[in-house]
Amino acid sequence: MSVLDRLGQKLLFTFDPETAHGMSIAALRCGLPVGARTTRDARLKVTVCGLDFPNPLGMAAGYDKNAEVPDALLGLGFGFAEVGTITPLPQAGNPKPRIFRLTADEAVINRLGFNNEGHAAAEKRLAARKGRSGIVGVNIGANKDSADRIGDYERGVARFAPYASYLTVNISSPNTPGLRNMQAREQLGELLSRVMAARAAATAQPPVLLKIAPDLVEAELEDIAAEVTEKQIDGVIVSNTTISRPALLNGDAARETGGLSGRPLFERSTIVLARMRKLLGPELAIIGVGGVDSTDAALEKIRAGADLVQLYTSMIYAGPALPGRIVAGMARFAETERLRSIRELRDGHLDQWASKPLS
């Protein structure tokens, strides 16, 4: 980290995590020049789901929940940004405090619960940027008290299809009671059928991806892969936060309920990624998320089977220059290894990761 980044982090860490998050959004909204110079390298370009990504690194959902700063995020060096999760109606989420830093582990536990301003507010912002360049995905979810959660996803598809480069169906947050049950095969089959029908009826047909949890056993992964293939979903995002608690250095905070993200998630999420690649085959798109905090980590996700990678938590600890540093590191690696395309790395360590135990 630069001296400026360290000072900024020190300042933000004097505030509680949710306040600090709001301050970082406000800074980006004001156009503060907080990122590194964007690296442009043809060897980093990746075409996935018919979309041409300038580089394979994206901002994961959860940071820009209300689609306030997608273009500012792209300006930090990301090849794409994913906004949301957005639910049809505004909701406050779970009671505060609900975000906990595990500084020694470079991790975070959150139990936010899809707090967001709802479809109408996000649609207004996304409509205002229509026609601009840059790949912006929209992550859609269901309201906690909805009587028809699948209907909420249908409404999300209909509402955001005209504005989204791609849509993500998020059924893997651990912080909305019962949501992860939608990963079970029968419910998942109905959800995906209705989502794809909603896309077919929409005024635009962006790719649809499914975001899954890392806390799945092999049989559950097999069921998800079968439904994704049968319903012709365009890809899978692996993975959301985990309810497991691997060996952590932080004490009290580690006992908080919610989803764990950051460095401790890398191992399990990468194993699940590789196993899903094995199940889905080489053609379907996979985005790898979980513990990406360096060029090496991003490249390893690709070697484990990812077409694209995303990060979020690591920026809390490494600052807004991190995406620029990672992308520049990818370009240097491609130069050193004389790669024609970063895609040449994909699946290089697939068998190694897929053979590791999930427990």
Catalytic residue positions, numbered: 173
The H or E element containing residue 137 is strand 135-140
Are 273 and 288 contacting, i.e. CB atoms less than 8 angstroms apart? yes
The H or E element containing residue 25 is helix 17-29
Amino acid at 273: L
Phi-psi region of 61 (alpha: psi -120 to 50; beta: other; left: phi over 0): beta
The H or E element containing residue 58 is strand 57-59
The H or E element containing residue 313 is helix 313-318
Closest Cα partner for 229 from 180, 190, 283, 166? 283
DSSP 207-270: -EEEEE-S---HHHHHHHHHHHHHTT--EEEE---BS---S-S-STGGGS-SEEEEGGGHHHHH
Output the CA angle 78-81-87, nearest 5 degrees.
160
Are 323 and 57 contacting, i.e. CB atoms less than 8 angstroms apart? yes
Going edge to edge, which strands form the sheet with 107-110? 99-102, 107-110, 259-262
- Strand 285-289 vs strand 235-238: parallel, antiparallel, or unpaired? parallel
Are 82 and 41 contacting, i.e. CB atoms less than 8 angstroms apart? no
Closest Cα partner for 241 from 256, 251, 228? 256
Query: What gap in Å lies between CA 146 and CA 159, rounded to an integer?
Result: 17
